[in-house]
Amino acid sequence: MCGIMGYVGSGETVSIILDGLEKLEYRGYDSVGLATVERGRIKTQKTVGRLAALRKMLAGNGKRGGAGIGHTRWATHGRPSERNAHPHLDCNQRLAVVHNGIIENYQELREQLQKKGHIFISETDTEVVAHLIEDYYKGDLLAAVRRILGQLKGSYALAVLSADEPGKIVVARKSSPLVIGLGTGENYIASDITALLDKTRDLFILDDNELAEVTPAAVRLTKADGTEVTKEVFRVEWDAVTAEKNGYEDFMRKEIHEQPQALQETLAGRVDWEKGTVVFPELKIGRDDLSAIRRIHLVACGTAYHAGVVGKYIFERLLRLPVEVDLASEYRYRQAIIGPDVLTIVISQSGETADTLAALRLSQAKGSRVLGITNVIGSSVAREADEVILTQAGPEIAVASTKAYTTQLLSLYLLGIYFAQELGTLEEALRQQLLTEVKLLPHLLEKTLATETKIKEFAEDFKAKENIFFIGRGLDYPSSMEGALKLKEISYINAQAYAAGELKHGTLALIEEGVPVFALATQPDLYEKMLSNIKEVKAREATVVALVSAGDYKTEKSVDYALYIPKTHPFFTPILAVVPLQLFAYHVAKVRGCDVDKPRNLAKSVTVE
Ligand code: AGP
């Protein structure tokens, strides 16, 4: 996610903005820029790379007074470059805009504006906002910004300057956070509280579809329809470190709770809801290429590998093509059969995992087209794969991957539907069901977070356990794998995942009184068999936690604890089922006093073999 900082007052505008952006560096970024209004003109300075470089470029700019806005960019549309860095200007360079979020309909708006003669400099979605405001600007910046919001689909936190209205910043918010810091004779704006804490602790938190005109002496708040808004001042009591976590105790819990937004952003621009089709404008691979593909290889490590296992089930069901899924560290040495008839898909949050990169290069060397799914634009996977799909999870700081996983799953689902559309293997009824359900996933995940209350209550019961088993069938099996990995990597409890049908082939010998078993039973076609497996372990006095879909109240009679996820298409349950497993791992680790963000022996990105 991008970082926004703005200032209006009589202080040193440039250095105040740079200091604010520095507080946002933890969010991750690939370019940075700043604009001020000076002597009736907009002045901008941008660079690819670190904030320190920008600071150097602006050294000695003791600019005092006026207004300024700054931005750290986490690229979503358009590669990291100076041209794509924010702020973006209108044709006459009289307006400057910075933005956090995604304008889903930016292509359509760009074409309309180009037809009107607007000249675009960048590849970004944001630049359309500057040209739209230019179209409507008649000397009242607040009015012009308000008028263009109705044309924007997607999410935004916007900050806008006008050379004709110095000493003023106009901001607007929809889905992406934006706060206003209140000073004395000066005011601030930022994408999150962290940037402002050393300046002020008195804030207005902008709500969705609200705007504000910020001057040194006043903050005028209105709704998108123009009605005035009055707000309570929000007094921040957090320390700076807590603020970086947006008030959460740990990055991991913050990132678990960011998943609805991350899904929303990953879904943005991916479905043409009028036509009912999935779209991947950035992909070159099409019907003819896919028709020449005989096998798909999904290759990854750790949590990303578990996403690949889900992908195997989905792709085989939708495409009727053989799919192999491999741990990258095995794939690269097992003399896999790779050739031009294989499509290799590598999945990596960081895009820098050594084994996954080696697998990517091996497949390419053998003539296979490689598609990368990664969360980091500009990463090695993003640069080296023949094609790349970016998840929009935003920076994931905690070592234990959560929001990156659910956005990888969503990307795989959308890719599977897209390929099936291209190959003509998607039954019409299923297409409609999936597209209806996929739209609800961010909301359903939000609802699933509510299981945290119950999990927090019973986490204590598991803190002293030495072994915990996760069992499931079908799509519940990769979810079990991910639940086991989450628990062991942050609580250090030995957790194992088993295909439930495997129990009688050995594992059952380990089940005795009090051994905890997490049984996932969300797949209707395998439900009865899962019930038998639950009875199998209960007969050996296991302590069973069942994870089932809402509406199935039969299971709870046979188990010790029952957790419910909202009903959705069985395909999509892995996106919801993982959330209680993430929360279980988090709360058990917390009661065990573990460092959930930085677990022992582990790194966020394994860039060595
Ligand atoms: C997940 O919780 C772990 N931190 C780890 O397994 C991780 O998924 C794995 O190292 C792969 O990382 P990547 O997605 O960045 O390639």
List, for residues 38-56, the tens digit of each pLDDT value. Answer: 889 999 999 998 899 999 9
Cis ω on the peptide bond leading into residue 87 (within 30° of 0)?
yes
Question: Which pair of structure tokens corresponds to residue 418?
Answer: 């897209």
CATH code, domain carrying 117: 3.60.20.10
Residue 318 lies in a domain: yes
Residue 598 lies in a domain: no
Residue 549 lies in a domain: yes
H/E stretch holding 131 reads helix 127-136
In this structure, are 79 and 204 located in the same domain?
yes
From the CB of 483, is ligand 1 less than 6 Å away? no
In this structure, are 308 and 426 located in the same domain?
yes
Do residues 476 and 601 touch, judged by C-beta distance below 8 A?
no
Ligand 1 center–CA 597 separation, angstroms: 13
Count of domains in the chain?
Answer: 3
Question: Which pair of structure tokens corresponds to residue 88?
Answer: 């973006």
Residue 597 lies in a domain: no
Ligand 1 center–CA 488 separation, angstroms: 14
In the three-class reduction of DSSP (H, G, I as helix; E, B as strand; rest coil), residue 265 is classed as helix
In this structure, are 441 and 397 located in the same domain?
yes
In the three-class reduction of DSSP (H, G, I as helix; E, B as strand; rest coil), residue 157 is classed as strand
Residue 608 lies in a domain: no
Residue 601 lies in a domain: no
pLDDT at 155: 87
pLDDT at 609: 72
Does 2 qualify as catalytic in the annotation?
Answer: yes
In this structure, are 224 and 249 located in the same domain?
no
- Which atom in ligand 1 lies closest to the alpha carbon of residue 356? 16
CA-proximal residue: ligand 1, atom 7 (nearest): 302
Please name which of 1, 5, 55, 25 lies closest in space to residue 199, comparing C-alpha atoms: 5
- Burial of residue 259 (number of CB atoms within 10 Å: 0-12, 13-18, 19+): buried
In this structure, are 441 and 506 located in the same domain?
no
| Residue whose entry in the numeric block shows the structure tokens 């969010």 | 27
In this structure, are 12 and 134 located in the same domain?
yes
Q: State which of 212, 237, 262 marks the end of a domain.
A: 237
Residue 189 lies in a domain: yes
In this structure, are 184 and 281 located in the same domain?
no
Residue 605 lies in a domain: no
| Domain housing 574 | 451-591
In this structure, are 295 and 354 located in the same domain?
yes
Does 604 qualify as catalytic in the annotation?
Answer: yes
CATH code, domain carrying 494: 3.40.50.10490
pLDDT at 380: 86
Q: Which amino acid is at 483?
A: G
From the CB of 372, is ligand 1 less than 6 Å away? no
pTM summary value = 0.78
Q: Which regions of the chain are under pLDDT 50?
A: none
In this structure, are 411 and 471 located in the same domain?
no
**Catalytic: which of 2, 174, 403, 590?**
2
CA-proximal residue: ligand 1, atom 3 (nearest): 400
In this structure, are 433 and 490 located in the same domain?
no
Give backbone dihedrals phi and psi of 6, rounded to 5 degrees, phi first.
Answer: -145, 160
Q: State which of 397, 426, 447 marks the end of a domain.
A: 447
- Secondary structure of 268-333 in the HEC alphabet? CCCEECCCCEECCCCCCCCHHHHHCCCEEEEEECHHHHHHHHHHHHHHHHHHCCCEEEEEHHHHCC
Question: Which pair of structure tokens corresponds to residue 182?
Answer: 């209140």
Ligand 1 center–CA 349 separation, angstroms: 7
- Burial of residue 556 (number of CB atoms within 10 Å: 0-12, 13-18, 19+): middle
In this structure, are 117 and 24 located in the same domain?
yes
In this structure, are 276 and 325 located in the same domain?
yes
pLDDT at 378: 67
